[in-house]
């Protein structure tokens, strides 16, 4: 992935796996070899007002014990959920999902809905990972299991304790109403949250403008992330998004 980023013109790269920091050492080594500046990161699954949101931690110390313990606890919840998802899919006619998802994830503790989606594509349930979620794994569909993730307070305290900055990931994907959105941004700011993703592979150009305004209104630093998962599974490749609006301070402004 680092070689791909380099080839596509990226000179500063963050790896932000979901609730896991185990890949950071290899990524750092690859980035050093490729001459790419590397920012260690993580993307923490959080439940706020009964919905799931993602909080990215950037420039963290991956060795921080409290961060590692918090992520390990979150991953154990993920594994328990994976078992319940597999049971639902078996009832829907797709047995063997847990073993397949474990194989596809490599590490059983980081099984996500994406791995079950890949399994369902292998089984012919849908033509692509993106299409799986129209019929499975999303609210109201077979294979959806609600989950109580970390609290916003805990996620920010783990990130800050590890010396990092907290960033609201892809706010355009959340389904809060405008009042709840304002309360969410205010709660994040009150907890010392620093940044918000303005330009991401999950946003439309109109949302670039919308969240640039939110960043200016709350005084958040701005971030930009491809949300690249794998070739063919992501809306945009590494390094291909537009630059941040010039009036916003980037989250990395004093790291380079
Ligand atoms: Zn995310």
- CATH number, position 191: 3.20.20.140
**What phi and psi values does residue 50 have, to the nearest 5 degrees?**
65, 10
When divided into structural domains, the chain yields a total of 2
Q: For residue 70, report the distance from its CA to the centre of ligand 1, in Å.
A: 18
238 within a domain of the structure (yes/no): no
Q: How confident is the model at residue 126 (pLDDT cuts 50, 70, 90)?
A: very high
Q: Decide if pLDDT at 158 tops 90.
A: yes
Q: Decide if pLDDT at 108 tops 80.
A: no
Contact 46, 54 (CB under 8 A): yes
Q: For residue 86, report the distance from its CA to the centre of ligand 1, in Å.
A: 22
Q: Decide if pLDDT at 183 tops 80.
A: yes
Mean pLDDT of 184-191: 98
Q: What is the pLDDT of residue 224?
A: 96
C-alpha span between 154 and 252 (Å, rounded): 23
**What phi and psi values does residue 47 have, to the nearest 5 degrees?**
-105, 125
Same domain for 63 and 81? no
The per-residue pLDDT of the chain, averaged, comes to 95
Q: For residue 80, report the distance from its CA to the centre of ligand 1, in Å.
A: 20
Q: For residue 115, report the distance from its CA to the centre of ligand 1, in Å.
A: 15
CB-proximal residues (5 Å) to ion ligand 1: 54, 169
Percent of the chain residues topping a pLDDT of 70: 100
56 within a domain of the structure (yes/no): yes
Same domain for 56 and 167? yes
Same domain for 155 and 66? yes
């Amino acid at each position: 992935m680092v070689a791909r980023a380099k080839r596509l013109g990226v000179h500063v790269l963050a790896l932000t796996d979901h609730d896991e920091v185990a890949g950071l050492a290899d990524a750092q080594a690859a980035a050093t070899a490729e001459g790419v500046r590397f920012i260690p990161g993580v993307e923490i699954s959080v439940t706020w007002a009964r919905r799931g949101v993602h909080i990215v931690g950037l420039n963290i110390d991956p060795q921080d014990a409290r961060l590692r313990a918090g992520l390990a606890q979150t991953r154990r919840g993920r594994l328990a959920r994976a078992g319940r998802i597999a049971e639902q899919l078996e009832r829907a006619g797709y047995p063997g999902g847990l073993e397949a998802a474990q194989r596809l994830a490599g590490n059983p503790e980081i099984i996500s809905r994406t791995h079950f989606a890949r399994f369902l594509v292998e089984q012919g349930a849908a033509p692509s990972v993106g299409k799986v979620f129209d019929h499975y794994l999303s609210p109201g569909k077979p294979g959806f299991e609600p989950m109580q993730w970390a609290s916003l307070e805990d996620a920010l305290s783990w990130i800050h304790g590890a010396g990092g900055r907290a960033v609201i990931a892809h706010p355009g994907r959340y389904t809060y109403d405008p009042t709840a959105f304002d309360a969410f941004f205010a709660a994040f700011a009150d907890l010392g949250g620093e940044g918000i993703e303005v330009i991401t592979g999950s946003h439309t150009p109109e949302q670039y403008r919308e969240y640039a305004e939110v960043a200016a209104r709350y005084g958040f630093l701005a971030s930009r992330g491809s949300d690249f998962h794998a070739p063919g599974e992501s809306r945009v490749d590494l390094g291909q998004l537009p630059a941040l609006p010039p009036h916003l301070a980037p989250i990395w402004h004093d790291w380079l």
